[in-house]
């Protein structure tokens, strides 16, 4: 990755019409730090893989060296809710995913979540999955069929996600689009662009990158590319580079599981060579289903009777046990833990992810409410001079950042 001087970074922000307060540097022990990066002395500012006070460093923080007399400030800025994640590759983190994220509501057996997508993101969900279908030339999120559960248009849903990302500039979110109608990928370009998500979408330097070639969260944050968009079927990265072909990058455990043992074996793609698994991300499908007949068709619906067990930290059928079994089978934890009703029991799925990530879980880190930010007087515009510590939800962030198989149940 290229290095950036302070002048280059601030110049880029100005050209992109982004207020400097967007960086939200944190003052620590005589210096300032933006996210993470090299060590420094005096009152300089550090940027990821950048330069400070005329002392160049292209090494990542884990590789950087400094004189014994240099100050060693500790980064307090979180990335995806944890300071430890800032310097981790996107591919070296376990994320909690909301299975069928759009399908919420009451009095419908087909719902998979209790809260809408904004609440899901606020609570710490960082992977959003859902199945789409086309009706009258418009793409909707529908559960198997639109007369069973229609959750609204893809464009409206993604607009909410894009707005949330702009309100939370240190978060990276993954979106997995289920192409239930097997549409040509070109049909998805307009809703992604009109929603504003396309301009936030990450495009790899080359197609089919391996797990050791993904950028760190800090790098993605500084690039302004904080949405990773996958599609299960009919993706074409030559046509739309920011919609990634899911199975070129990841594989999945058994799909729409009805087996409480939740075997951590390869299910999709069915032709996945076993010796190719270590080079890819992988997703654990941990949403227990029950088969019912609706409108004369067999449909899999979420098993809500066993949620405390299914989403539990330990015990038979639990998410925690599946995560551990996956690690035993593949020498690493899953990248994505896809669950129904993530909030039952409260916080358990996030505790499992924290354990997989080797970070300390606390209920306060379940979501961004209450995470505080420091605005440094030397860099903030005068209009913000009276702001002190505020919650993330209270701050006004810029609206502009630098500029589409079987049905999934």
Give the whole-angstrom CA distance, residue 86 versus residue 223: 13
- If we measure between CA atoms, which residue out of 205, 222, 223 comes closest to residue 214? 205
- 78 closest CA partner among 327, 403, 362: 362
Cα distances (angstroms) measured from residue 228 to each of 187, 217, 309, 342: 18, 11, 30, 21
Q: Please, what's the b/e burial string for 5-36 (b: 16 or more CB within 10 A of its CB; e: otherwise)?
A: ebeebbeebeeeebbebebbbbbbeebbbbbb
- Catalytic entry in 99, 133, 286, 369: 99
- Label residues 349-361 b or e (16+ Cβ within 10 Å = b): bbbbbbbbbebeb
SS3 content of the chain, % helix, strand, coil (to 5): 25, 20, 55
> With helix as H, strand as E and coil as C, how does 233-288 read?
CCCCCCCCCCEEEHHHHEEECCCCCCCCCCCCCCCECCCCCHHHHHHCEEEEECCC
Strand partners, 250: 281
Return all residues near 271 (Cβ < 8 A) that are at least 6 apart. none
| CA atoms of 401 and 409, how far apart (whole Å) | 34
Q: Report whether 149 contacts 72 (CB < 8 A).
A: no
**What is the pairing mode between strands 281-285 and 250-252?**
parallel
For 246, phi and psi rounded to 5 degrees?
-45, -50
Q: Cβ distance 78 to 170 under 8 Å?
A: yes
- Is 369 catalytic? The answer is no
Catalytic residues: 99, 143
């Amino acid at each position: 990755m290229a290095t950036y001087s302070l002048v280059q970074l601030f110049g880029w922000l100005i050209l992109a019409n982004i207020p400097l307060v967007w960086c939200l540097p944190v003052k620590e022990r005589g210096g300032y730090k933006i996210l993470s990066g090299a060590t420094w002395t005096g009152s300089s500012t550090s940027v990821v893989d950048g330069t400070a006070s005329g002392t160049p460093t292209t090494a990542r923080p884990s590789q950087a060296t400094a004189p014994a007399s240099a100050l060693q400030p500790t980064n307090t800025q979180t990335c995806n809710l944890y300071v430890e994640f800032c310097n981790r590759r996107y591919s070296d983190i376990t994320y909690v995913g909301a299975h069928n994220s759009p399908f919420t509501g009451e009095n419908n057996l087909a719902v998979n979540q209790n809260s809408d997508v904004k609440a899901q993101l606020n609570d710490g969900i960082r992977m959003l999955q859902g199945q789409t279908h086309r009706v009258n030339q418009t793409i909707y999120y529908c559960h198997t069929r639109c007369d069973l559960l229609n959750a609204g248009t893809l464009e409206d849903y993604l607009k909410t996600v894009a707005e949330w990302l702009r309100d939370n500039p240190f978060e990276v979110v993954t979106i997995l689009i289920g192409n239930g109608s097997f549409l040509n990928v070109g049909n998805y370009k307009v809703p992604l662009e009109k929603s504003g998500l396309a301009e936030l979408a990450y495009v790899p330097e080359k197609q089919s990158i391996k797990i050791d070639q993904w950028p760190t969260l800090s790098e993605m944050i500084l690039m302004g590319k904080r949405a990773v968009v996958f599609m299960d079927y009919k993706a074409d990265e030559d046509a739309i580079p920011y919609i990634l072909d899911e199975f070129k990058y990841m594989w999945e455990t058994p799909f729409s599981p009805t087996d409480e043992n939740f075997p951590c074996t390869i299910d999709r793609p069915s032709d996945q060579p076993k010796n190719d698994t270590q080079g890819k991300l992988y997703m654990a499908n941990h949403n227990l289903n029950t088969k019912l007949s609706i409108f004369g068709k067999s449909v899999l619906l979420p098993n809500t009777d066993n949620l405390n067990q299914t989403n539990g930290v330990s015990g038979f059928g639990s998410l925690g046990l599946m995560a551990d079994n996956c690690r035993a089978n593949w020498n690493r934890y899953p990248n994505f833990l896809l669950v129904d009703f993530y909030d039952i029991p409260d916080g358990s799925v996030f505790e499992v992810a924290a354990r997989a990530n080797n970070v300390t879980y606390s209920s306060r880190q379940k979501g961004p409410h209450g995470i505080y930010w420091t605005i440094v007087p030397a860099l903030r515009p005068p209009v913000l001079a009276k702001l002190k510590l505020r919650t993330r939800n209270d701050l006004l962030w810029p609206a502009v950042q630098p500029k589409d198989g079987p049905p999934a149940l």
